[in-house]
Chains A and B, each alone.
Chain A
């Protein structure tokens, strides 16, 4: 590491941004590509292994399957109590609820924090920032008690309803930052023309917020799709299992014999995230760079 930084330092001295012209450095590229391959190798190997017979998974560290088979996918699809599309459907319901909830509730809260004056604003804003840091594990026990009083255990409500109540404060913060960057002239002009806040929010702020909304939607999708802890706690019945919980059941039941099907289903579970990664690059990078979310 020490050598890396030392080598890097002199070149950082060049003029920034526009004038920082890419230079040809074959050795650097070689290093970066090699490193990238090592990083991605486990992923590539999993995808390739999902196409191999299970016994080859334990023999072939290479990427090219010597025997190509799709049987892992067909076997894995039906290996659990319900066919795998049942779990995918459940996951999609949860994800859709979470995305809609976050888009609505977080943008509303963000509008109030970014554009309106009211008593206690600074205090509430500080509280909101603190809840970003709050680990879900701290509140899970009383939430479980509350939701079981409401008879919500083993339903999707405990996962979706909190999103409708803007508890993903990350996204409130993201959108506050974004709305603050929008010129105020627009909403002031609209106010002079007699627009109420609801109309300003819906017709002016929201359309201009599209990039922030996209970032929110993509991250909510990925986080909820990946989320294991809350789904593990609240979804108890196999009928309600989502993809992560189904995979976990699969993994725990797996001896060496069914690694192929398990890899196949894991590959499918990662598919949507990979799709968003390819399609939503811009929004992802913007999201991380402005708020540091992961």
Chain B
């Protein structure tokens, strides 16, 4: 680090250090000006790419707009239509089922494996890497393509089942099972939360366990009274993050169903329905209203998570 410092210093012309107040600006003002300078790209992005579009889509959600003509103000029509839109309802149902089944399974598996690895297994980095790999790949088109084959009528799963004389269904093409295959895919990517759990487990001081042992707590008691409470902030963090991720699932459903959300809308995720409305039928107004509902739903769940956290998340001091 000293080397870096020296490197940084050397080009400075030592003869003429600019006097801090030379231009009548206090150091504080100059700091602030520099800050706004450094933040200029971020401000532009916030305005044009993030907040501007959010507000614009609020406006569009009250219009009928197909990109061809000007947006036509229709008041609450889009929202009224949403109330009676059966495909919207089934897409909400599909998304909720996915989120509430796959996230707990994924986090449970992640925690279980983190606990096993935390016992001090030889070769921990190797296991961690192997389990983590699917998290990197899980969202890619290639994996979704693979899933489509594996869970297809003549796919890998059914070939294996065939050895045991079981004739499996065409999992991805059966309305009862298609969503299940995507849930399996999400559970498969448990590695990322597992790495976070592992980091969290490492933070728990051994003296708590020792104290608990001295007081006569058995292994089960230690798990529920020491490990779990001290891990709640991490559990909470993973929960919020994975829920938000799960709400946004798109690629897998799109590829497995060729963009249709089928069979029988059983993989019609909310984001997929939004895409169909916006970029399939170019109903920009309706799609904007859908986008706003998504924002409200995710926002509500995040707030709910934070409120509920007060009752179950334990912050040491």
Contact = CB atoms under 8 A, between A and B. Distances in A.
Contacts of A207: 4, 7-8
B131 A36 contact: yes
A133 B298 contact: yes
B192 A294 contact: yes
Contacts of A61: 156, 159-160, 163
B5 A189 contact: yes
B38 A111 contact: yes
Given A13-B206, A135-B247, 13 more contacts: A4-B116, A8-B116, A16-B202, A108-B38, A131-B50, A135-B248, A148-B67, A165-B44, A190-B9, A195-B8, A195-B9, A197-B34, A266-B142
B195 A119 contact: no
A165 to B, nearest CB: 3
B284 A139 contact: no
Contacts of A247: 141-142, 145
Contacts of B16: 194
A25 to B, nearest CB: 7
Contacts, number: 366
Interface residues of A, number: 122
Interface stretch (B52-60, B81-89, B172-180, B308-316): B52-60
Interface string B249-283: 01100110011000000000001001100110000
Most buried by B among A45, A59, A201, A228: A228
Interface of B: 1, 4-5, 7-9, 11-14, 16-18, 28, 31-32, 34-39, 41-42, 44-46, 48-50, 52-54, 56-57, 60, 67, 108-109, 111-113, 115-125, 127-137, 139-143, 145-150, 154-156, 159-160, 163, 188-189, 192-193, 195-196, 199, 201-202, 204-206, 209-210, 212-213, 219-220, 222-223, 227, 237-238, 241, 244-245, 247-248, 250-251, 254-255, 258-259, 271, 274-275, 278-279, 284, 287-288, 291-292, 294-295, 298, 302
Interface of A: 1, 4-17, 20-25, 28-29, 31-32, 35-36, 39-40, 42-43, 45-46, 57-61, 104-105, 108-109, 111-112, 116-119, 121, 124, 127-128, 131, 133-146, 148, 162, 164-167, 172, 186, 189-190, 193-201, 203-204, 207-208, 222, 225-226, 228-229, 232-233, 243-244, 247-248, 251-252, 256, 259, 262-263, 266-267, 269-270, 273-274, 277, 281, 284-285, 288-289, 292-294
